[in-house]
Each structure stands twice: as structure tokens, then as C-alpha cells.
Structure 1
């Protein structure tokens, strides 16, 4: 069994609920599709748990902002949260983050943060079609970034999966999301967690309520519910 998590975004109580479930199931191999950083305030607690569980992290765009000391061009809110995290992250946790890999690929699985195209770190896959996977030989494709949990069947018995977001679901379900692979079968998991804990931590850290009130409804910061669709006509 292998667990696939994504988009923790320093939401420690959500990550703790997921990791507790993973441990209960006896799963030892865990991949993170990136974005450990950004949005929420418990960055050290989150990374320390990921380190403890020997999680392999694929670099996300928020992780890249942190590692390269760059700003997000489209979001003042993202930059505010990252500036906070830069001030509090420990040297050991930052070092772990810099060791994130750009992607993971073997004969069966291809895992990325954004998309499977070149320079696709910050590309959102809101529409899936068979053509985008035609150049690849793998059977299972995993991507995060959109914060929307789904499994989509492709041609030739191949599958695309977004495990959803641990720390900031945007598909209208406030529960933390992740996925499990067992003998080629993908199971999508949702878990309740203590939203009040991260909301209170954010408030004490000086963030306005709009940074975290979306967690109670499972939306992005603007209150929007997002989805991923499959374009069957594009083959």
C-alpha cells in the first residue's frame, strides 16, 4: 500500500488526521505531491511530522516560492503567508524542504505537482483528456495543485488521480483528502479534522478570518468551489 497526499499548506491538524489514518492502516510508503508551504501558520509542526513519517515530497509552487525566496505574482495573501513562514521555519525544516524532488516516475507511476508538461509546476489541470497522456508510457498519473479530489479513467486502462488537498480542500467538502494505492486500485479518503485548531492558530498569528474561514466550507479563499472535468471528445 502507498499513500498519496498533496497540498498540506502548513495545516497541521489536517495533516495529523491524515497521518494518523495512514499509520492505523499500516502504510509505510508516502508521497506528497507538494505545497507543504503557503496559506496556513503551522509550518514547522507540519514538516516535522512529514519528516517523522519519511514522506517523499515533490516540490510544489508554494514550496518553490519558499526555497527560492520568490513572491507569487498573482496573490498578496499567498505572499503574506509565505513571509510569515519564512520568519518562523527552522533551519532543519527548511533543509528538508530543499530536498524535495521535481517529480517521481517509475515504470508504473508518474507523479507531479501541477501538470505533466514541461515547466508545468504552476499549471492547473481542471480539464483532463486522453491526449495529454499520449506521450507517456506509465499507467497511473498523479497530480495535485487544484485541491480537487478525483479519479478519472483514461484509455488503455490508465488512470489519472488528484488525491485532493490535505490542508485546503476546494471541492466543497471540508474534510482533509488523500488517496491510497493498493494493488493497482486507487481509493479516495476523506477525514474530519480540528479546523478550529488551525483557525485559532492563524488568528493568534495575526491573520484575518478570510485566510481560514473557507476551511469550514471546503472552498478557496474567495469562497469558490472548484472541480475537475473529463473531456471525452478529446482523444
Structure 2
């Protein structure tokens, strides 16, 4: 079985449309969205509508949770005063844009999705979250201490843990006695932060004997998305981050 996993679109409709075009050429067996549909760009309603139209099972990201509750707090870990001020503009603008039907959808999204496979005589547990199993906005970066990451997965009973939130894709294999656990970050469709402005998602292939990941990068009209930011009240810094993938 091949499963497509994507997250962190952040109201970037050109990126989402290019993602769908790439996805349709791959024909995976299942598709899941790991949240953060909105924020930082001008198309939150269109992004929500496109995902709903395809019936894609979706979990709530921290930004989705904030907007769903009409909150001015997105649970984002801004470090500087400039980032905090820019973030305040973004969430206020997004709250103004999002329509009631779309807000209701965000408010009712689940916190996680668990999929159980029965392979040979063994059960394989796939857990999909946004930040971590412990908290919607916890960052699990690639350099996370191995013992800490392993403990998080053990406590969540996850053989494969898939998540987003950091916007930086990776796959770590963790040895746990006689078994291997997999921690997989899907990267970001609409707001990459790993120095590559192309969108990113992951294809997870599960067989009886192996677990493989392919990180798919795809081109999209970055300039269209960046100019949309610049022509709105959103900070120009968000346009530059799209152009540079940071």
C-alpha cells in the first residue's frame, strides 16, 4: 500500500493545485492531510474547499485550531517581536477571510488519525498527528534526542509516526529492541522552510517486509503566491519566505 501524506498548505492555493496535479500522476492508494490548511496567505477558504471536495481525511493543525475557534492565538512559536507582530497580522487577516462554513469545518477536525495494519502475524500502528502525539504545536525537529523521540512514539504506541508543523521533511529510523520505529516529517506543501521553495509531500509505501518513504518535491507558481501576499495587508516577509523556502 502506498499512502500520500501532506501538510502545512497555509492558504497557498497555487501550491495546493500543483500538489494535486502531481498527486494524481502518482495514484496512491490513500491520501491524508496532517493539517494547517490556513494562515499566511489569501486563499484559506479555497484551500479548505478543495480538500473537502476531494474528501481527504484531515486532522487539525495548530493554525486550523486557532481559526476554528476564532482565536487570535495560533499556537505558533514566534521568537522575535517582529515575528510576533507579523503573526498577529496574519491571524487577524485570516480570521477576517474565513467564512462560517469553513470555520465550522476547521473546528470539527480530529486531533489525530490512527491506522492499524495486520501484516503477517504482527500489528503495525500508523499514527498521524500535526505537531506531536503530546501537543498539537510541539516541534519534532530532525535533531531531536533519540531517546526523547523514541519515548514519545512508545507512549503513543506508534510504529510509524507521521507529522508536519516544522515544514522540514525527514525520515528517522529508531531501533527499539528487536523492532524499528519510523518518525516521518512530511515537509510543507505551501510554506517550505528547508531552503527549497518547491512544495513537498511524502509517499509512504508499506509492504509485509519493508517500509519506504519517497519525499516528492514539485514546482508551483511561487511568484503568484508571493505577489498575492504583497498585494494584501500581510507582511512582505511572508512573500520572501516563499521565494527562498525559509
Range of TM-score over shorter length: 0.7 to 0.9
Is 1:157 the counterpart of 2:177? The answer is no
Match of 1:114 among 105, 116, 131: 131
Contact 1:30/1:54 (<8 A) preserved: no
Does residue 65 (structure 1) correspond to residue 66 (structure 2)? The answer is: yes
Extract structure 1 runs of 4+ deviating beyond 3 A: none
Please state whether the residue corresponding to 1:147 is helix, strand or coil.
coil
Deviations 1:32-78 (A, max 9, x none): 11111111111122112111221222111111110112223742322
- The TM-score, its normalising length taken from structure 1, stands at 0.86
* 1:139 shift after superposition: 1.7
Question: For 2:194 and 2:113, how far apart are their aligned partners in 1?
Answer: 25
State the 1:131 CA deviation: 3.0
**Could you tell me how far apart the structure 2 residues matched to 1:133 and 1:2 are?**
20
Identify unmatched segments of 5+ residues in structure 1.
220-235
Unaligned runs of 5+ in 2: 79-83, 117-124
Say if 2:130 and 2:165, in contact at 8 Å, map to a contact too.
yes
Find the aligned partners of 2:172 and 2:56 in 1 and give their Cα distance: 25
Which residue matches 1:24?
A: 25
- The CA deviation string for residues 161-210 of structure 1, in whole angstroms up to 9 with x for no partner, is 00101111111111101011223422111111101111121222233321
Aligned positions, number: 217
User: How far does the alpha carbon of each residue in 1:69-119 deviate from its partner, in whole angstroms, 9 at most, with x for none?
Assistant: 2223742322312222222222332222223111111322111111122xx
Question: What residue is the counterpart of 1:224 in the other structure?
Answer: none
TM-score, normalization by structure 2: 0.82
What is the distance in 2 between the residues matched to 1:77 and 1:208?
Answer: 6
Partner of residue 134, structure 1: 154
1:110-133 CA deviation, whole Å, 9 max, x = no partner?
11111122xx11111121522332
